């Protein structure tokens, strides 16, 4: 059975985005995101895809959008979250992996939280202005299985801690 994994960088105030981009610059966390998602299908909303601008190498992008005219080379398009999960499961099987990674944004996290098996949460030590937020977690439904605080890179706006949570 394919597992659904939410991967998010979240500020102390829950912010994950502002004006179509990240509210910080943390190259160390982007490297962590790359390592976490490498070789796996990634589901994202169209606004998240637009902020990235292209399919990321070494992964397969599945973009959920209600825009019937949306198409982009190298991207699987899904018209609903259910369709995205079906596509993701098929792509995971073809890639020989057991996980589908959900990488944002806020609407997609809210819509998939109840289906998620695991959350890889980079907790960013900032509280910036934001217009997109990660949903509040009911910690009675999750247990922390690991925690790591990577060294802060010289170009990072802030330190971060990576917590991996599994559904209870």
DSSP string, 121-159: EEEES-----SEEPPPP-GGGEEEEEEE-PPPPTT-SS-
* CA–CA gap between residue 38 and residue 56 (Å, rounded): 9
Q: What is the predicted pLDDT for the residue at 102?
A: 98
**Which tokens hold the place of 31?**
């490297």
DSSP 149: -
pLDDT block averages, 10 residues each, the chain of length 168: 97 96 96 97 96 95 96 96 98 98 97 98 97 97 98 97 98
DSSP 20: T
Q: What is the predicted pLDDT for the residue at 82?
A: 97
Q: Decide the pairing of beta strands 160-167 and 118-124.
A: antiparallel
What total number of domains does the chain contain?
A: 1
CATH number of the domain residue 73 falls in: 3.40.430.10
Domain around 76 = 3-167
Q: What is the predicted pLDDT for the residue at 28?
A: 97
């Amino acid at each position: 059975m394919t597992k659904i994994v939410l991967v998010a960088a979240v500020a102390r105030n829950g912010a994950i985005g502002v004006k179509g981009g990240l509210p910080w610059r943390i190259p160390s966390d982007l490297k962590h995101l790359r390592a976490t998602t490498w070789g796996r299908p990634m589901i994202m909303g169209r606004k998240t895809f637009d902020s990235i601008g292209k399919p990321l190498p070494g992964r397969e992008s599945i973009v959920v959008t209600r825009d019937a005219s949306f198409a982009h080379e190298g991207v699987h398009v899904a018209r609903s979250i259910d369709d995205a999960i079906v596509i993701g499961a098929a792509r995971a099987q073809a890639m020989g992996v057991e996980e589908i990674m959900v990488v944002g944004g806020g609407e997609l996290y809210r819509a998939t939280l109840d289906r998620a098996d695991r959350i890889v949460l980079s907790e960013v030590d900032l509280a910036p202005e934001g217009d997109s937020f990660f949903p509040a977690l009911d910690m009675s439904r999750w247990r922390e299985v690991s925690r790591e605080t990577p060294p802060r890179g010289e170009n990072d706006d802030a330190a971060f801690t990576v917590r991996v949570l599994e559904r209870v």
